[in-house]
Amino acid sequence: MAFIVEITGWRPGAKKVCADKLLADEAGLGLAAGKRVIERVLDGEVVSLEIEDRNLADSIVGELQGLGFDARLKH
């Protein structure tokens, strides 16, 4: 069962480069794909990512929130 990490927005001061790297490293997207996801969020799009592991999905949500992005685990 996959878990959905939904990135819905960002707050002023969001750390874009760190978020790019987080998605590349933790979500397994690769740096270019991670950067594209974050660019889409910065442009106002809601982006959903499928993550296989619940603990990893929770961790990604928490780290994105700490970097200034609005993210949640969608069931």
DSSP 8-state secondary structure symbol assigned to residue 53 = -
> What pLDDT was estimated at residue 64?
98
CA distance linking residue 10 with residue 2, whole number of Å:
24
Q: Write the burial class of residue 10 (CB in 10 Å: 0-12 exposed, 13-18 middle, 19+ buried).
A: buried
What band does 1 get if pLDDT is binned at 50, 70 and 90?
Answer: confident
**In which element (H, E) is residue 63 found?**
helix 54-66
Given a cut of 90, whether residue 19 has pLDDT beyond it is yes
Domain ranges of the chain: 3-74
Tokens standing for 62? 């928490």
Give 3-74's CATH code, choosing from 3.40.190, 3.90.380, 3.30.1390, 3.40.50: 3.30.1390
This prediction has a pTM of 0.94
Tokens standing for 37? 């996801």
What band does 3 get if pLDDT is binned at 50, 70 and 90?
Answer: very high
- Angle formed at CA 55 by CA 10 and CA 21, multiple of 5 degrees: 45
> What pLDDT was estimated at residue 75?
73
In this predicted model, what pLDDT tens digit does every residue of 24-64 receive, in sequence order? 999 989 999 999 999 999 999 999 999 999 999 999 999 99
